[in-house]
Structures are given as structure tokens and as C-alpha cells.
């Protein structure tokens, strides 16, 4: 796994001098309802087509999944690749920066399971 990209800038650059700015940057990427779920599924299953990802997540609409993938691609967390098959299909995978989110996603999963209310 490579180092995070140095040319990726945090959308929360307004807080650059504050000790909590890294957290703000992370929340900017993962703070949306479906963003961490999509990253989690791609970490668990590797590259997936749109339909496979939609089936795996389940409760997400195609519109929201499309928007989520576009957001994660813009944040350099997800790569979108057109697969040269017939019919042509699109496959989504994590970038090195996306793979680097694994410890954070696992920690959020563990914390959530600990505090999950039945």
C-alpha cells in the first residue's frame, strides 16, 4: 500500500492550523450516510460492478449509490473503470487512499457493534 497522495487536498482546508483538522477531513469523506458503507463493501469484496454493489448494500437507491460513488471518486477514494466486456460495464474499486481507510472503517464497525441497540 502506498502513502496517501500528497496532491489530494482536504475540503476542510479552512481548519489547517487546528489540531483536529485531520478529523474534519476524514469526516468530510466518510461523514455521509452511505460513504463508509460503500468503502466497507469494497474493502470486503474487492472490485464490484454497480449492480453487484447495489445488491450488496441493499437499502440504497441507484440514484444515491451513483451520487455516493461520484463523491468517493472525487475524493480519490474510489476508482471507476470501464471493463472491456460485451456489454460494457463499469467496475468500482478502492484507490490506495481508499484502502488506507481500512483501519478507520474497522474501528467504526467495531464501535458501532459495541453500541448497537437491539
CATH number at residue 38: 1.10.10.10
What are the beta bridge partners of residue 91?
A: 49, 81
- Sheet with 48-49, edge to edge strand ranges: 48-49, 89-94, 78-83
For strand 89-94 and strand 48-49, is the pairing parallel, antiparallel, or unpaired?
Answer: antiparallel
Kindly state whether residue 64 falls inside one of the protein's structural domains.
yes
Kindly state whether residue 9 falls inside one of the protein's structural domains.
no
* Residue 78: C-alpha distances to residues 22, 50, 117 (Å): 20, 12, 31
Number of domains the chain is built from: 1
* Residue carrying the nine cell digits 459495541: 114
Kindly state whether residue 83 falls inside one of the protein's structural domains.
yes
Q: What is the pTM of this model?
A: 0.84
Least confident of 11-20, 44-53, 106-115: 11-20
Kindly state whether residue 2 falls inside one of the protein's structural domains.
no
Kindly state whether residue 13 falls inside one of the protein's structural domains.
no
pLDDT digits (tens, 9 = 90+) for 30-64: 889 999 999 999 999 999 999 999 999 989 999 99
Kindly state whether residue 24 falls inside one of the protein's structural domains.
no
Q: Distance between CA 19 and CA 4 in Å, rounded? A: 19
Amino acid at each position: 500500500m502506498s502513502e496517501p497522495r500528497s496532491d489530494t487536498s482536504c475540503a476542510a482546508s479552512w481548519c489547517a492550523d487546528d489540531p483536529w483538522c485531520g478529523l474534519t477531513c476524514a469526516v468530510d469523506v466518510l461523514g455521509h450516510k452511505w460513504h463508509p458503507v460503500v468503502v466497507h463493501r469494497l474493502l470486503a469484496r474487492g472490485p464490484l460492478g454497480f449492480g453487484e454493489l447495489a445488491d450488496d448494500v441493499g437499502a440504497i437507491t441507484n440514484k444515491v449509490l451513483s451520487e455516493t460513488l461520484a463523491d468517493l471518486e472525487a475524493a480519490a477514494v474510489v476508482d471507476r473503470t470501464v471493463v472491456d466486456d460485451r456489454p460494457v460495464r463499469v467496475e468500482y474499486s478502492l484507490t490506495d487512499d481508499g484502502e488506507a481507510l481500512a483501519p478507520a472503517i474497522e474501528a467504526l464497525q467495531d464501535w458501532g457493534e459495541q453500541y448497537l441497540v437491539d
